[in-house]
Amino acid sequence: MFTIAKTEAARGIWSAFKEPLTAPARGMVMVDVIAAGICGTDYHIYSWDSWSAGRIKTPMTIGHEFVGRISAIGEGVTGYEIGDRVSAECHISCGECHYCRTGNAHICEKTSIIGVDRPGAFAEQVEVPASNLWRVPTAIPDKHAAVFDPVGNAMHMVSAGKVTAKNVLIVGGGPIGLFAAAIAKAHGARTVALQEPNQARAAIARSLDLDLVVNPRDPDSAAQILNLTDGHGPDVVLEVSGNGVALNAALEIAAPGGTFALLGIPSGPVELDLGAKVVMKGVSLIGVTGRRMFETWYQVEAFMLKNPDLMEKVITHVLPATDFQRGFELMDEGACGKIVLDFQQIDQRLPI
């Protein structure tokens, strides 16, 4: 079985051939992976930053965005059959704590994440709890179905921001920011602006027919956003960059009473002028993590079915799984939107 794993506590990702997995445990299913998306989390692990070094126990097969077909079913599992095409929620919650029992399983304190805390989907097979599965409609192509997870992040953030009829600013044009821009537009935002310094990703954003795409490094970028919003500033800011400077700049121009949905994770602590920029402006800060289980999944499915053209614009590369190093290099260069790895064509003779 071909796998892509973090085997050493150092920058990089490696691959290997291992024995196929054994039969799934009770309540679990085995999924033969068709395709898997490279996530920002996977890139953090590849880079071996401070978060990864403190969280990942090597060796660990990474990857948590995927679509595949069920190949084996464990005891006690009902409602699924061999051959069903599925994706899966990567956050495995306990189902018993206060948060799980009140509809907030996405913030379960006992969450275990596929590809982070347990073997992931950058492999020909992955074992997943049946309770986390999502059966994928046949009308959704494999490369779209492989990225339910990040589109779900974007959907959760947009929903938290309540963007309908609002002036929206997306800070950061990585894949989730691009998906968020497309979703905000589909959800009836009054205007949608996106700021992104990388010109390759800015070009993808322009292909989405947004109202404004700006480079935050341009001295007149704030003026352009204010002009778009009739001088009021954005009512909703969707922060995906994790950049403290960008966050402070957005707070500076945000409309009074505005809403900030924060999904980007900073590399370290961020200093904010809470008095002037948050309290006195009546700004609401909302932390967004994961997806609401499974409300967000229904929303994402509907979006994918109705907007396949937007999905195509954000997914810029589908690479053979054995070419995964090229995928991470493209992310290093910022020369891509969303990257999907194809696990259908694995040459078992390939030297690793």
Q: Which residues of 123-134 are buried (b: 16+ CB within 10 A; e: fewer)?
A: bbbbbbbbbbbb
Taking every pair of Cα atoms in the chain, the longest distance, rounded to a whole number of angstroms, is 64
Query: Is 138 tagged catalytic?
Result: no
Output the DSSP codes for 40-73: HHHHHHHHT-HHHHHH--SSEE---EEEEEEEEE
Please pick, among 3, 44, 144, 156, the residue that the annotation labels catalytic. Answer: 44
Please pick, among 3, 41, 61, 296, the residue that the annotation labels catalytic. Answer: 41
Query: Is 44 tagged catalytic?
Result: yes
Ramachandran sector of residue 191 (left: φ over 0; alpha: ψ -120 to 50; beta: rest): beta
List phi, psi (to 5°) of 156: -60, -45
Structure tokens at 139: 């009308």
Structure tokens at 260: 């900030």
Contact 266, 287 (CB under 8 A): no
* CA–CA gap between residue 106 and residue 99 (Å, rounded): 8
Catalytically active residues, by annotation: 41, 44
